[in-house]
């Protein structure tokens, strides 16, 4: 087994980014709540522990603390932001509410060398970092010394080399701390002694062995949606158990152009995976008739999908249900204030599994982030046209058709979306953009087309860049590109006479547009 790092979460909105940076350095890691049972910490087999940031104030008596067992392990520890304050407070230092808050970019000066900075940040250097704190450390615990300062945080970096405990007031995991990943890699490698040998090829072999061990000779049913996650999960399962797997593809009529045909061609013909295709577009559209609220749409689609899926899956006699659950789904199902909760991801993140299905879950991707799933897909030989496809959040076109969903409005949006993505491909921008899609707005505008006035719908375009799917910034298209896309959509799609571009960026959290 590869070396591992354990991250204890105090509820920071960027804790997942810590895990991403650690894994990028070739070290496997997992995130657990700060109040996890000490036995689980010991059983995890970590070579080092990272304490995340968090929204609470350590000065409050009710603020979260880690178990003393964390410090008794003797493992290297790195505290980040709130994690630094927790270390100080729990080891005999003092933290107080400060009049001077620090949010955003700041400069940290390295005032002394330590194990955390050795070889990457030299004494006397100044580095840009990202701060987000209101409290400040007033007294260090015994054994600690200051190794970095900023204008708003005299104890911006502290170290106890004897116990191998280090802490920083800033967030090294975010892109706004340009050299922060080097610090994290230094902690996992130089301080914790991790070899950095975790790879997707090794994950693939281990996942196949785990699937075979869990399933045995049982039958597995997997729901295909046409997306990356379920597709990679299906191919991995098929490699592990072959004909014991049957896929059910519920075509709800809300897919992008050509997706249904691609699923049938790839999985039914190329991989020859046993596949049940259920064309249920009319059923779903009938259930959605007259519904405008996006959350109600999600619930309707989720419930209908489960009913249709269960009807077909029950004929297979399967004992296991495979899902493309990803690691962010696992993390987000655990509340840092309330501990683990039982949240099961169903199709398109809506609803849940009814007890009547009576199936054990197989979730072969639950340890992976989205971009890691793509790497695994390529490792398995899936075509890049599928693996590199932009994610399409929400249950298909239903959430991108704002207002009532009808077959006609879906078709209008499908055509506009196809043109948009086609122009992105032609411009060679697909790899530079993490996610792009069109949205049909529930408003109409008056326009002049040729010698006639028109009264048609407005189409919005969205494109964002992201390295991990947790933060996003709008892609800066040039005007000529947007003009070309708008001209094609207005000319080729009957029902749209105006196109707008959404330039909203998203901070850490779920990337949605609805």
Active site residues: 81, 171, 173
Distance, in Å, from the CA atom of 497 to the CA atom of 200, rounded to the nearest integer, reads 47
| DSSP assignments along 5-35, one per residue | EEEEE---TTHHHHHHHHHHTT-EEEEEETT
Q: Are the C-beta atoms of residues 17 and 156 closer than 8 Å to each other?
A: no
When computed from its CA atoms, the radius of gyration of the chain, rounded to whole angstroms, is 25
Report whether 469 contacts 416 (CB < 8 A).
no
Q: Which two tokens stand for residue 7?
A: 């991250």
| Two tokens, residue 105 | 């970019």
Q: Are 116 and 159 in contact (CB under 8 A)?
A: yes
The residues near 28 (Cβ < 8 Å, ≥ 6 apart) are 2, 3, 4, 5, 198
Kindly provide the residue ranges of all beta strands, DSSP E only, lying in 140-234, ordered along the sequence.
145-149, 157-160, 165-168, 220-224
Contact status, residue 24 vs residue 181, Cβ threshold 8 Å: yes
3-state secondary structure of 422: helix
Cα 487 to the center of its chain, rounded Å:
34
How many Å apart are CA 12 and CA 184, to the nearest integer? 17
Q: How far apart are the first and last CA of the chain?
A: 43
Q: How many helices (H) and strands (E) does the chain have?
A: 15, 20
**502: how many CB neighbours lie within 10 A of its CB?**
13
The C-alpha atoms of residue 424 and residue 428 are separated, in whole angstroms, by 6
Q: Are 130 and 176 in contact (CB under 8 A)?
A: yes
Rounded CA separation 257/417 (Å): 8
Query: How far is residue 228's CA from residue 234's CA, in Å, rounded to a whole number?
Result: 10
Cβ atoms 71, 42 nearer than 8 A = no
- For residue 356, give every residue at least 6 positions away whose Cβ sits within 8 Å of its Cβ, in sequence order, or none: 310
Cα–Cα distance measured from residue 266 to residue 261, given in angstroms and rounded to the nearest whole number? 9
């Amino acid at each position: 087994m590869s070396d591992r790092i354990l991250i204890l979460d105090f509820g920071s909105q960027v804790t997942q980014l810590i895990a991403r940076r650690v894994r990028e350095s070739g070290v496997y890691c997992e995130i657990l709540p700060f109040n996890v049972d000490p036995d689980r910490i010991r059983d995890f087999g970590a070579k080092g522990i990272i304490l995340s940031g968090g929204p609470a104030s350590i000065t409050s008596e009710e603020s979260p603390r880690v178990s003393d067992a964390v410090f008794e392990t003797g493992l290297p520890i790195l505290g980040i932001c709130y994690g630094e304050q927790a270390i100080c407070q729990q080891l005999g230092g003092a933290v107080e509410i400060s009049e001077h808050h620090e949010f955003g970019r700041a400069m940290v000066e390295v005032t002394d060398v330590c194990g955390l900075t050795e070889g990457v940040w030299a004494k006397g250097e100044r580095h840009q970092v990202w701060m987000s704190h209101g409290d400040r450390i007033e007294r260090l615990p015994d054994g600690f010394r200051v190794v970095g300062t900023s204008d708003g945080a005299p104890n911006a970096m502290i170290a106890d080399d004897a116990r191998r405990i280090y802490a920083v007031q800033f967030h090294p995991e975010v892109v706004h701390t340009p050299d922060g990943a080097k610090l994290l890699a230094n902690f996992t490698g130089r301080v914790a002694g991790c070899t950095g040998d975790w790879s997707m090829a090794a994950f693939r072999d281990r996942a196949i062995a785990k699937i075979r061990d869990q399933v045995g000779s049982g039958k597995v049913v997997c729901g295909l949606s046409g997306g990356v996650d379920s597709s990679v999960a299906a191919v991995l399962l098929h490699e592990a158990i072959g004909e014991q797997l049957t896929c059910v593809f519920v075509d709800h009529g809300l897919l992008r152009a050509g997706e249904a045909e691609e699923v049938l061609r790839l999985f039914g013909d190329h991989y020859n995976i046993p596949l049940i295709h259920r064309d249920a577009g009319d059923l779903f559209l009938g259930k959605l008739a007259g519904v405008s609220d996006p959350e109600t749409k999600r619930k309707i689609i989720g419930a209908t999908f489960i009913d249709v899926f269960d009807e077909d899956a029950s004929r297979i006699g399967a004992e296991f249900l495979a899902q493309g659950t990803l690691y962010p789904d696992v993390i987000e199902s655990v509340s840092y204030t309330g501990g683990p909760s039982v949240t099961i991801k169903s199709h398109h993140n809506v609803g849940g599994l009814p007890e009547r299905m009576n199936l054990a879950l197989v979730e072969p991707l639950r340890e992976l982030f989205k971009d890691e799933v793509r790497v695994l897909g390529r490792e398995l030989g899936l075509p890049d046209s599928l693996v590199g496809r932009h994610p399409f959040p929400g249950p298909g076109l239903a959430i991108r058709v704002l207002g009532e969903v009808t077959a006609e409005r879906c078709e209008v949006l499908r055509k506009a979306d196809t043109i948009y993505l086609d122009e992105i491909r032609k411009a060679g921008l697909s790899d530079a953009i993490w996610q792009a899609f069109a949205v049909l707005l529930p408003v109409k505008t008056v326009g002049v087309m040729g010698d006639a006035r028109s009264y048609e719908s407005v189409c919005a375009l969205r494109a964002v860049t992201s390295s991990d799917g947790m933060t996003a910034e709008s892609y800066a298209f040039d005007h000529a590109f947007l003009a070309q896309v708008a001209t094609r959509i207005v000319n080729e799609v009957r029902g749209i006479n105006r196109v707008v571009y959404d330039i909203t960026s998203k901070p850490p959290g779920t990337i949605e547009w609805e």
